[in-house]
Amino acid sequence: MFEELLPSQPDEEKLPCDLLVERTEGFSGSDIRLLCKEAAMQPLRRLMTLLEDREEAVVSEDELPKVGPIKPADIETALKNTRPSAHLHAHCYEKFNADYGSQILQ
């Protein structure tokens, strides 16, 4: 999912997908998608801050800076702001398993 949702360009630094997999233990697919969206917003937030700090009220299109790549630090920020939600539904799955799951004893 990380490679699909956070593709890197050939000249960009590769994101540590193996580390991301470890750090997102307990995340659902929806949680990972939210994490990737949060990480993808970080370069845009940096750009917005840069534009807000400029003294000129109007910036010509030629002078607009480009939105940068997603950096590992952006992932760290997203991890701090995104929490797994799958554990919130764990009791439903446990109840379903108790009611309808296999009751084979070992």
The answer to whether residue 62 scores a pLDDT higher than 80 is: no
Supply the CATH classification number for the domain 2-100: 1.10.8.60
pLDDT grade, residue 57 (50/70/90)?
A: low
The answer to whether residue 59 scores a pLDDT higher than 80 is: no
Q: What is the pLDDT of residue 42?
A: 93
Task: Identify the CA nearest to 32 among candidates 49, 48, 45, 15.
Answer: 15
pLDDT grade, residue 35 (50/70/90)?
A: very high
Q: What is the pLDDT of residue 105?
A: 57
pLDDT grade, residue 19 (50/70/90)?
A: confident
| pLDDT > 70 in the chain, percent | 87
Rounded Cα–Cα distance for residues 14 and 17 (Å): 8
Angle at which helix 29-53 crosses helix 72-81, to 10 degrees, equals 120
Residue 60: count other Cβ atoms within 10 Å of its Cβ.
Answer: 7
Q: What is the pLDDT of residue 37?
A: 94
